[in-house]
Every structure is written in C-alpha cells, then in structure tokens.
Structure 1
Amino acid sequence: MKYSKQKVLFELQNRLIEDNRKLVLVKTQISTKERDKRLAELTKRELSALDKDTRTYKSVGKAFFKTDLSLLMTELDTRVTKAETDLKTLDKTKQHLERNINESQNALREITYIRG
C-alpha cells in the first residue's frame, strides 16, 4: 500500500512539473503573438495614413520588393486575424494547464495530508 502512494505521489509531481513547463512555454507564445499583433496593427495604422499612390516596399529577407499598398494592408489584416485566432487557442490551452496544475497541487496536498 505504501509503495502505491509513493508511486502516485511521484507521478503527480512529474505531471505538475511538466504542466508548469508547458505553462511557461504557452505564456511565452502568448506574449510573442500579442507583440506580433501589435506590430501589425501599428504598421497598418501608419500605412493607412499614406496616399494610395505612395510607393511601398515589402521586406523579403534582406531584399525589398515594390508592393501595392492594398496588398500590404491585406497581409497585415491577415496577420492580425491569425494572431487573434492563435491567442484564443493559446488562452484556452493556458486555462487548461492552470486547471491541471491546481488539480495536481490539490491532489498532492491530500496525499501529503493522508501520509502525515
């Protein structure tokens, strides 16, 4: 009986460590996506102030290619939409991991209380 409690305790601790590692990664991804979204929104705002016939260029690696302003605006809209979708998915994942962490911590407290 004692061995099974130790095994359960070990598995809970490992799951808690793994979920915490995943949570840190998801939070980093959320931060990156928010930054990308803000950058696209700011760029779009600056480009919208330009005249329609203004020459615009798109960076492709180290090169710049002349690109139509409307194409740049569409691309930025797509980036913002994709970032918003990704943020929703990442937020759901974050909530799921936080719930798992809380459940694991509660289970560890119960096992520790029972063992004591």
Structure 2
Amino acid sequence: MRSKEGEKKRAYLTLEELRQLPDDTNTYKTVGKVFILEPKSVLFNEQEQKLNDSESAIASMQTSKEYLEKQLGEVENNIRELLQQDPGLARQILSMTVQ
C-alpha cells in the first residue's frame, strides 16, 4: 500500500506541474536513461491513468486488509474458545518448548 501511495503522490504532483504548462510546451518522458519527446497531452493522460490505477489498487488492498483482519480476529477467538474448553490442552501447549 505504501508503494501505491508513493506512486499516487508522484502522479498527482506530476499532474499539477503539467497543468501549469502551456499546451504547446515540449515535454519529455523518461524511458530508462533516454528522454523521449512527447506531447503534453500524452504525458498528462499517462499520469492520470497512473493516479487512477493507484487509487483503485489502494482501495482493493484496503478491502483485502479489512477482510484479513476480520479473519484473524475470528481465528484468535476460535483458539481462545478451544483453549477455554480444554484446560488440559492449554497446559500441554504451554509446556511445549520451541526449538
């Protein structure tokens, strides 16, 4: 999520800078170590697409995170209930050593 937040922020800042430029300004796109002359509209559309993709990926990840946190809570509750129902099992687990 942090990676996508960073992408989103870079795309937003780039869009803000592109908005300030006149439409006939020469703009360059980096491809590796090469700079390629591109119309402003092409760069603008690419940055908007990156921004939208990042936002949708973040929303999807947030939904997954919430689901997994809910699942984790349910599993923890199930384990607690199991240990409360069988104190002998709880003692046996506590007596085990991790090697």
TM-score (norm. length: structure 1): 0.72
Match of 2:32 in 1: 61
Counterpart CA distance in 2 for 1:35 and 1:59 is 18
SS in 2 for 1:52: coil
> SS of the residue aligned with 1:57?
strand
- In 2, the alpha carbon distance for the partners of 1:106 and 1:31 equals 30
Post-superposition shift, 1:98?
0.4
Determine whether 1:51 maps to 2:51: no
- Name which structure has the greater RCO, CA cutoff 8 Å, separation 6+: 1
1:35 paired to 2:6: yes
Q: Deviations over 1:17-75 (max 9, x none)?
A: xxxxxxxxxxxxx1111111111001110111111121110001111100100100000
Unaligned runs of 5+ in 2: 88-99
AA of the residue aligned to 1:99:
K
User: Displaced runs of 4+ in structure 1, greater than 4 A?
Assistant: none
Any unmatched runs of 5+ in structure 1? 1-29
Q: 2:58 aligns with which of 72, 76, 87?
A: 87
Provide the C-alpha distance between the structure 2 equivalents of 1:62 and 1:103, rounded to a whole number of angstroms. 50
The question of 1:100 aligning with 2:71 is answered yes
> Over aligned residue pairs, what C-alpha RMSD do you find?
0.9
Name the residue aligned to 2:80: 109
Quote the Cα distance in structure 1 between the aligned partners of 2:85 and 2:30.
62
1:90 deviation in Å? Answer: 0.8
The code of the aligned residue for 1:69 comes to K
Count of matched residue positions in the alignment of Structure 1 and Structure 2: 87
